[in-house]
Structure 1
């Protein structure tokens, strides 16, 4: 893709916390972050930065490793998954991470995590036909975003920057439900006062959802790319491809995503934001 093509490194699935207890996940996170930092040092023209992995089941070790990766290794953000062994990201033990990243003024990447054990129907024992991945992952991302919104994290940390994988999951397509639908939060619920949640937010839920950032990793879908850019705006979209998880094992999603963005009716300024400028700003990279 030419000498100007560069990548921010991150660790792929699965989440480290599913591989072992706190001691194991901490060791794996340290090894991963040390390794990615070394690659950045060895190949700065190809890899201008990396996203740190964290031992999310290690309690106080979460923030400790985030600080180490950023302060000592130069990480340009951290990656978490949409749940931590079934716990929501908004659980009390994970909140210090959001505060720490707001102080660092660096982004949190959110990647979906869901397996075949999440059944399609309550009467079954596993998801079929990889529905857990095709539809389950976008749902996971959307559910995590909703919990972050309604449980006040964006109100508590208004400078927080969260980059959602796969163009924000289902959220852009369901703009109507997220907008006027959730403006009526509580109208479909009789056993708790959800109207109080809206009062506490002090703004429309959809406006908080637009505070998220999203990447272009939608497997070469032009329609999804258009929908996501329309919802989040060019200032809140960054280039990503999900390489190498394509039928060609690497180049296809990169090539097709570039082709789509090049063909969209965008100003050159907005196109540059998506390809480069937003990442430079968010990740505090050297602009070159």
Structure 2
């Protein structure tokens, strides 16, 4: 992966080392083809009703105009690339909007969905393969389809797949997912953990708590399932990026360590203190607070944090490099997070 000349292009150090690209690992694409596929299918109306209950009417009234105003950046690759230039971003790792998960879908629909999502995302990224890398989807509600879905994404030239924090009735610690973790580890696929919807439901249906509190909560719960169940012991080579800086878990990991060391039920499933597993995961930088970002770098390691913007949604940042610079990291750590870590992670053998 080489740097593209853009306003955000920086040398990797002041010593004349070769420049590294600025890489944003948290950027989305909207796929109208997917929504056309599921329209009218049994289960869609119920899923939309649940989403409405979880978000509340005030949030839904804002969401529609917000998304419509961002449609060109979400669907038109040329508009995306121009926006990247303005932000100083050389490369984006583009994942489908989480609204495309549709974990209510039956097996036949789910197979059509992951194929269409992978093909449409690959087509979007084909506009500039040097600057746009893509992720596909896998149906968490149908574990038997997940390995074929991952293979389909990789065969389309995508870097991996995006997953949510859970599926109905299944946590990420579910043993049924073991073949998927095994295949992801074998292939070196990138897994992007991005929640959609919070099971606290109507408790968060005002003031956009469904997102501001719900997303970090879901990240923390999902990562805790992966850690405490031993998934990361069994699959130490997983390349898993947690969106939103991993939510609440990294800044409160001491409580997990205390439980692991004090209670036999908490410590039964994983071999090491929970904090040690943060250094086996990757996290995006989208935490909206420079002090929190510094703490994330401290607990996970500067080599485990990647630039993320949530492009182009309103809960993201329009200036991801500026947000990173505000954390006042060392020069080496700044450039590692800005793009060096992601460039190494996405590099093809």
TM (norm. structure 1) is 0.83
Alignment partner of 1:267 out of 330, 338, 342: 330
Alignment partner of 2:201: what SS? Answer: coil
Aligned position for 1:148: 226
**Structure with a larger share of its residues in helix:** 2
Q: Assess, with a 3 A threshold, how the Cα gap between structure 1 residues 222 and 265 changes in structure 2: closer, same or farther.
A: closer
Aligned position for 1:132: 210
Aligned position for 2:45: none
Deviation at 1:116, TM superposition (A): 7.3
Kept in 2, the 8 Å contact 1:112–1:141? The answer is: yes
Deviation at 1:88, TM superposition (A): 0.3
Aligned length: 264
User: Are 1:29 and 2:114 an aligned pair?
Assistant: yes
Aligned position for 1:206: 275
Kept in 2, the 8 Å contact 1:183–1:205? The answer is: no
Give the unaligned 5+ runs of structure 2: 1-5, 8-84
Aligned position for 1:225: 293
Q: Which moved more, 1:207-216 or 1:61-70?
A: 207-216
Instruction: Give the CA RMSD over aligned residues.
Output: 2.3
Deviation at 1:41, TM superposition (A): 2.1
Alignment partner of 2:314: what SS? Answer: coil
Kept in 2, the 8 Å contact 1:116–1:130? The answer is: no
Deviation at 1:164, TM superposition (A): 0.6
Alignment partner of 1:105 out of 188, 210, 224: 188
Kept in 1, the 8 Å contact 2:140–2:166? The answer is: no
Alignment of 1:247-266 (within 5 A): 253-255=317-319, 257-266=320-329
Q: Assess, with a 3 A threshold, how the Cα gap between structure 1 residues 194 and 224 changes in structure 2: closer, same or farther.
A: same
1:204-224 per-position Cα deviation (integer Å, ceiling 9, x unaligned): 121123322100122x32232
TM (norm. structure 2) is 0.69
User: Are 1:194 and 2:255 an aligned pair?
Assistant: no
Kept in 2, the 8 Å contact 1:279–1:285? The answer is: no
Give the unaligned 5+ runs of structure 1: 121-125, 187-192
Aligned position for 2:124: 39
Kept in 2, the 8 Å contact 1:141–1:168? The answer is: yes
Alignment partner of 2:138 out of 54, 68, 80: 54
1:92-150 per-position Cα deviation (integer Å, ceiling 9, x unaligned): 22221111111012221111132476243xxxxx7443323211211111111111111
Counterparts of 2:200 and 2:112, CA distance in 1: 27
